[in-house]
Structure 1
């Protein structure tokens, strides 16, 4: 008889909002509760599919979480699985290594929380069914700079061995190095399935001997975790072949929307164009809610006004989104440039000031040093996993700062220009 389980990771229950763009209180509430609702959907899937087990491969919480509300919520969801006879296997990752909930919350006997010493749990199955062994190991501390693979027990002979590990594998651009190991090492371990966690982007690697799955996360928390989110429904057939199915779980889906507004003749036409694109995007998203970051580009006579009145544009687009239904705006940005400005702007004090800023100030040594100093100070205040927003490496940092400086100077000029040319 087949063995079936749902595999997920990086739920980050009750994670603090990570984006400064969530100014809308209703949107803040929606995203603030989304991780819980996504986890409820995971449990619903387990019950609907009548799986044998739920595997949680780390970062169930988001740090030293001590909220009793979180504890009560988790206890209720685990109770639902327990009453249905579904087992739960949990390892702690880097974010929840220090959480007191997992260690202090009294769990039913159908829940196995692996400790800092690797264990293998043999699954009781009826006679004639292939044996299953589930291996797990939790982070003892919030950092694990060395591979943990060598700490796992050898595969149980004649059984289907399933390993649960929280790992950065060979590294990922947006994730620090945790318990690094290679796909090749996992493939040679003798385990039939590796249930991984830590990297928030889904990936599946299969060969004849093993299946290695990084399920991603069930719910994104900001625009840097955009796109559809899901859990993995896994079926191990009687012949020990493995079938992995992706099942959507996210309540709200973050998406980036690029809109070329070069053809928009006036403000109303521009808002209408963006609204139509939002409605089209919403129709392609499986999640209940769409949270969009709108980026406008192209040459437009409205370029200066867009920079000056971006807050007003956001209000107009948010209103259109409410008409569509369940469409929210994370942020509106513009990189639009103005066509040749004409004689009224080709000369004069403002034109001269623009030339000074763009040709002299932005590239002066003093300005560059001050910009880098501000960036270093801000980066030092960010959590480790968010520091990539300033770019990867020295060249990436320079490009990011140059982009910020260019956008800032254009906004200043737009404000100074006022109503000219509208």
Structure 2
């Protein structure tokens, strides 16, 4: 039996506030559907598992429902069964009854599992939605109770203790399941979601994360450094895709299916010991001549120290962005004055407006903290934002809630 395992599709995610990125997430899902249909024709694949976070929000707009229905209808018409659980984005953890997955279930497009199972021949697929770490025993007990006599596959959306992720993610410790009780269940495979890195394997349990279908974190971008008047490539864009499960009497074997990126996503780091506006403009102009491609998304990170006689106000981010005419560009200044006083992080012209408004009420240190937190949250680095706040106010914030939780928004 062949099963495709997808996760963290996040339909409706408008990364960086861009309509183009929202469409990229739509395209990634529809591309995965095309690949699943190809695999069905080639090798008889007849089931898809989605390990949570199919949607990015509990209340997706009509256009996102249209994309979901379009892709799922094609799978249903091809005779492919789709099994879905809720992730922390699909539904409220506390009251998960009302969520968009139930709509798709009522339409006959998916089998929505939450504390129940379906049998596919001799394979039992057990689904359980996301739980908080402090009530993980409920999840373990559900999985234990629902096990069958044949091959058992559990579908969950959690961080499993010990999984060696590369990029720290918000809420890892909030939605964690301890390794030992999970291993003691003796499950043949755990189809797990929540970590967005493609193909991340747990070292001791047969559990693999397919990761998101689209790039989620700026750290996954293609990355360059600009030094000595040259661009040096540090890493390629991280792979994305889903997993193919070959289920037999001897267990579950896992292989990778890659999905190419929708557009070029690039980060360029420039570091200076003595940054001057004219030098920075010259260097960014050179970078633009190499990176300004239609449809590309470029993040410029300008770091270091400002040369004597200048201040961070002398660096016009709007002017730097205008050196690019085709790509979407985000310019981030992380520069220190010669006095070693840390200047606030800014991104684009709005950053300067925010900084000046804050300075009318706050001191330089407080402004620097606020701007640093804004920049980190914008880059999906909630862990870094929390650490900045913890250092400033001297109160531990991580371990229970995300930034958005503290602000009263659903995560």
TM-score range, shorter chain: 0.5 to 0.7
CA offsets per residue over residues 18-67 of structure 1, 9 Å max, x none? x3xx5xxxxx2211222211111121121122232221111212333153
Q: 1:195 to 1:297 in 2, by over 3 A?
A: same
- Cα distance in 1 for partners of 2:185, 2:295 equals 41
- Cα distance in 1 for partners of 2:282, 2:365 equals 40
Gaps of 5+ in 1: 23-27, 125-130, 283-287, 339-353, 359-365, 400-422
- State how 1:17-416 maps to structure 2 within 5 Å: 17=15, 19=16, 28-50=18-40, 51-97=45-91, 98=96, 100-105=99-104, 107=106, 109=108, 111-115=110-114, 118-124=115-121, 131-139=122-130, 145-147=134-136, 148-152=139-143, 153-157=145-149, 159-170=150-161, 173-175=169-171, 177-202=173-198, 203-207=200-204, 210-220=205-215, 223=218, 226=221, 227-228=237-238, 230-236=240-246, 238=248, 239-240=250-251, 242-252=253-263, 254-260=265-271, 266=279, 269-275=282-288, 278=291, 290-297=296-303, 307-316=314-323, 318-319=324-325, 322=326, 327-335=327-335, 371=366, 375=370, 387-392=382-387, 396-397=391-392
Q: Comparing 295-304 with 84-93, which one deviates more in the overlay?
A: 295-304
- Cα distance in 2 for partners of 1:121, 1:332 equals 49
8 Å contact from structure 2 (residues 306, 335) kept in 1: no
Deviation at 1:211, TM superposition (A): 1.8
- Cα distance in 1 for partners of 2:35, 2:320 equals 40
Comparing both structures, which one devotes a greater share of its residues to helix?
Answer: 1
SS in 1 for 2:88: coil
Q: 1:396 to 1:234 in 2, by over 3 A?
A: farther
Q: State the structure with more CA Rg.
A: 1
Gaps of 5+ in 2: 163-167, 222-236, 344-360, 395-411
- Cα distance in 2 for partners of 1:221, 1:36 equals 13
1:343 aligned partner: none
Comparing both structures, which one devotes a greater share of its residues to strand?
Answer: 2
TM-score by length of 1: 0.65
- Cα distance in 2 for partners of 1:372, 1:295 equals 20
Q: 1:83 to 1:34 in 2, by over 3 A?
A: same
8 Å contact from structure 2 (residues 245, 255) kept in 1: yes
2:230 aligned partner: none
8 Å contact from structure 2 (residues 117, 146) kept in 1: no
CA offsets per residue over residues 310-358 of structure 1, 9 Å max, x none? 2201210x22xx2xxxx432334353778xxxxxxxxxxxxxxx79999
TM-score by length of 2: 0.67
- Cα distance in 2 for partners of 1:185, 1:193 equals 14
8 Å contact from structure 2 (residues 59, 99) kept in 1: yes
SS in 2 for 1:146: helix
Deviation at 1:233, TM superposition (A): 2.1
- Cα distance in 1 for partners of 2:295, 2:180 equals 39
- Cα distance in 1 for partners of 2:243, 2:129 equals 22
Q: 1:292 to 1:189 in 2, by over 3 A?
A: farther
8 Å contact from structure 1 (residues 295, 334) kept in 2: yes
SS in 2 for 1:164: strand
- Cα distance in 1 for partners of 2:202, 2:70 equals 34
SS in 2 for 1:335: strand
CA offsets per residue over residues 106-151 of structure 1, 9 Å max, x none? 5565731013xx2221113xxxxxx221110235xx8674111221
SS in 2 for 1:199: coil
1:419 aligned partner: none
SS in 2 for 1:236: strand
- Cα distance in 2 for partners of 1:387, 1:196 equals 22
